[in-house]
Chain A
Amino acid sequence: MSSVPSAQKAAPAKKNKIRLFGREYQTNEVLVSILFIVPTLAFMVFTFILPVIDVVELSFTNFNLKTRTLNYIKLDNYKYLLGEEDFWKSLLNTVKYSAMKLTLDTALALFLAVLLDKNIKGKKFFRSSFFAPVVVPMVASSLIWIWFYDPNVGPFNQILGWLGLPGSQWLYHESSALWSILLFSLWKGVGYNVILFLSGLQNIPDSYTEAAKLDGASEWKLFWKVKFPLLRPITSFVIMMGIINSFKVFAEFNVMTPDGGPLGSTKLIVSYIYELAFTNGRMGRACACALMLFALIFVLTQFQSLVGAHKTVDID
């Protein structure tokens, strides 16, 4: 008896249905959901998608901010860049910096996290002191470090002097400028990864550690055979973010060594893009260069996730 009226009700409801991606939805549900999506979508379109399309388009033009010319020149910008020594030099600097930063930062962060994971005294103090630089604004801390690095009045050279060691020109010499900024950025950024690794280490259940100890593992083996593999998802994430951030690095370089540093030794790819776009006004070339950087980061992160993906583990 009761099934009859419900069947009648169901029949007219059918008219208000809509098929989307092989599924049936109520029309009014679809309308409401569109209403919810629209603001975010609009925001995305205007702040992200349209500019990206613009960049792609501009990279095929000779758009010049100063002369206001805009002509389509096909692949000329790309050809120009590939034949330009500055492009290759800044790319090489970027790769050098990124490789060193990624390796040192990850290794140091892991090392510090392992130390902090032990029951040492003053653990909380160390944890916050490593993290403190992360929360200081980049420009402010860069300015402080410019003073640290000052060859005449900076504390670094003073300390070296007390130790009877020769001072360094730090930011003011082509052989040391890039490494000086690297040292700064390790100080600035390592705390963040320390916290990530530390939380990963603390998430490893004690029983794994205990089982490994009873299995006869030394601290060394315990770390490399049990803890490190279990940290894999976090290591993966740290490396991925490291690649992205170190290729995009700009602020500290621009503050500490404006205009590419001594003999262009600290000119990175992003600084080069900035120079092309805003110093020289060659927006077309800058867009082409930005797209090439994007492609490089994309390829590297894809490669990294391919290597890392199949080895991830679930702790249950």
Chain B
Amino acid sequence: MASVELKNIKKIYPFSGEDKKSKKKNKDAAPEKKVNLQITDEGVVAVQEFSLDIADKEFIVLVGPSGCGKSTTLRMVAGLEEITAGELYIDGKFMNDVAPKDRDIAMVFQNYALYPHMTVFENMAFSLKLQKVDKKEIERRVREAAEILDITDYLERKPKALSGGQRQRVAIGRAIVRDPKVMLMDEPLSNLDAKLRNEMRAEIIKLRQRINTTFIYVTHDQTEAMTLGDRIVIMKDGFIQQIGTPQDVFNHPANLFVAGFIGMPVMNFFDAELIREGDKFFVELDGEKVELAPDKEERLAKRNVQSQTVTLGVRPEHTAIADKGIEAVIDVAEMMGSSVHLHVTAAGRDVIIIVPTADASVDYRIGDRVHFTFGGRVAHIFSKETDRNLEFD
């Protein structure tokens, strides 16, 4: 149980000799890169300007595409990676130079990292033995953790004799027996299959209520982030994009990247006109003019936003089929059970419209023409120049 404070943290991975040589070749060979990390003379900047105050017992999720610096950040908190610049405080104490073993932090690794030569019991007891905890107390705490995680039957087995899901539980068990100040988890569920992943996600939510400590959880899966986090930190290319509650980042994405990253299926984007008439704001798309919600208008007015061409974002679940409105041609209709996902072309863009099955009285066919609209509360307005949400920045 502890607060964690990261102040303007930066991580540079220095080039090794070989990197420098191969870098030049790579530039010519592979010009299109997925990750656009900044490269300086000192090396690759994996994380920068990372500032975050984590409250005691808060559950923070770092989320972002692969290579954006999530693991690096987590490993700096753990002490496994040196902090290039910035300050880290745990429980108010300066931690930059404290060895991992003295930070009282537990971590669950993606590949579990269970000691192969020890039984499950020994794996879980290892840290307690090192702390010279009394034998009976070790026994009690390991059994208690095993009980919570439902692994009591495997205590005498070696990790090799366990399934992926069981190993994952042991890895979590090893972390919780210690009752650490901070619990770090690096993509703990990504080696599990989809069904197990959903089960374990639910278990982590339950676990969290029982053990009551500070969590920092890394994932690339926005669903995990949304369901687990008290607050979510969305990262890209080593920079924080937005910090907020799941509702926050869903309802008020700070920029185009967050808007596209959070939510499934992804938000639809259009080229549209923002029109200001006094203190009223409208967005016009394909001849449809929709007035924005009052709170949005207020924020835009306050920031003195003028009429301009913008990127308009509307989530698929916030569109509605109507008799008139924006015209769309159906490319694919996916029956999902509770709803139908219509993949359509509208205003020159690929768009998804979600129609609840209850309303889907019509049989949608490829090539059919439909019309849809959206409400002023769910329209997200992004600057064409900066990709940022015009309401906030």
Residues of A that sit less than 8 Å from B by CB: 205, 207-208, 210-218, 221, 225-226, 229-230, 232, 311, 313-316
Contacts and interface: CB of A to CB of B under 8 A. Distances in A.
A205 to B, nearest CB: 7
Contacts of B111: 205, 207
Contact of A211 (B99, B103, B113): B113
B80 A213 contact: yes
Contact of A214 (B107, B115, B160): B107
B116 A211 contact: no
A211 B107 contact: yes
Contacts of A205: 111, 113
A230 B103 CA distance: 26
A75 to B, nearest CB: 47
Interface string B61-97: 0000000000000000011100000000000000000
B117 to A, nearest CB: 4
Interface in B131-182: 131, 160, 174, 178
Given A207-B111, A210-B109, A214-B107, A229 B117 contact: yes
Contact of A316 (B80, B105, B116, B131): B116
B235 interface: no
B272 interface: no
| 6 A-B pairs with least C-beta separation | A207-B113, A215-B127, A313-B117, A211-B113, A229-B117, A213-B100
B116 A313 contact: yes
B20 interface: no
Contact of A218 (B101, B106, B107, B113): B101
Contacts of B127: 215-216
A315 B105 CA distance: 25
Nearest to B101: A216
B282 interface: no
B178 to A, nearest CB: 8
A315 B117 CA distance: 9
A232 B99 CA distance: 28
Contacts of B103: 214
A52 to B, nearest CB: 39
Contacts of A214: 78-80, 100-101, 103, 105-107
30 contacts: A205-B113, A207-B111, A208-B113, A208-B115, A210-B78, A210-B80, A210-B100, A210-B109, A211-B109, A211-B115, A212-B126, A213-B79, A213-B101, A214-B78, A214-B79, A214-B101, A214-B106, A215-B101, A215-B106, A215-B130, A215-B178, A216-B101, A216-B130, A217-B130, A218-B101, A225-B126, A226-B115, A230-B116, A232-B117, A314-B160
Contacts of A213: 79-80, 99-101
A226 B109 CA distance: 17
Given A214-B106, A221-B130, 10 more contacts: A207-B109, A211-B109, A213-B79, A213-B101, A214-B107, A215-B130, A215-B178, A217-B126, A218-B101, A230-B116
Contacts of B116: 230, 313-316
B117 A230 contact: yes
A208 B78 CA distance: 14
Interface residues on B, range: 20 to 34
Contacts of B160: 314, 316
Contacts of A226: 115
B113 A215 contact: no
Nearest to A215: B127
Nearest to B111: A207
Nearest to A210: B80
Nearest to A217: B130
Contacts of A215: 101, 106, 126-127, 130, 174, 178
Contacts of B80: 210, 213-214
A188 B112 CA distance: 41
B334 to A, nearest CB: 40
A54 B127 CA distance: 60
Contacts of B107: 210-211, 214
Nearest to B107: A214
Contacts of A315: 116
A208 B80 CA distance: 12
A234 to B, nearest CB: 13
B295 to A, nearest CB: 45
A218 B131 CA distance: 11
Contacts of A210: 78, 80, 100, 107, 109, 113
Contacts of A313: 116-117
Contacts of B100: 210, 213-214
Most central of A214, A216, A218 by chain B CB within 10 Å: A214
Contacts of A311: 117
A213 B105 CA distance: 10
Nearest to B100: A213
A221 B116 CA distance: 16
With a 10 A CB-CB cut-off, give which of A207, A313, A316 has the most chain B CB atoms: A207
Contacts of B78: 210, 214
A232 B116 CA distance: 12
Nearest to A313: B117
B327 to A, nearest CB: 55
Contacts of B79: 213-214
A316 B229 CA distance: 32
A214 B109 CA distance: 11
Most chain B beta-carbon contacts within 10 A, residue among A216, A221, A225, A316 = A216
A48 B332 CA distance: 75
A38 B116 CA distance: 44
Interface in B273-304: none
A229 B126 CA distance: 14
Nearest to A226: B115
Contacts of A217: 101, 126, 130
Nearest to A204: B116
Contacts of A225: 126
A196 to B, nearest CB: 19
A181 to B, nearest CB: 37
Contacts of A218: 101
Nearest to B113: A207
Contacts of B115: 208, 211-212, 226
A126 B374 CA distance: 70
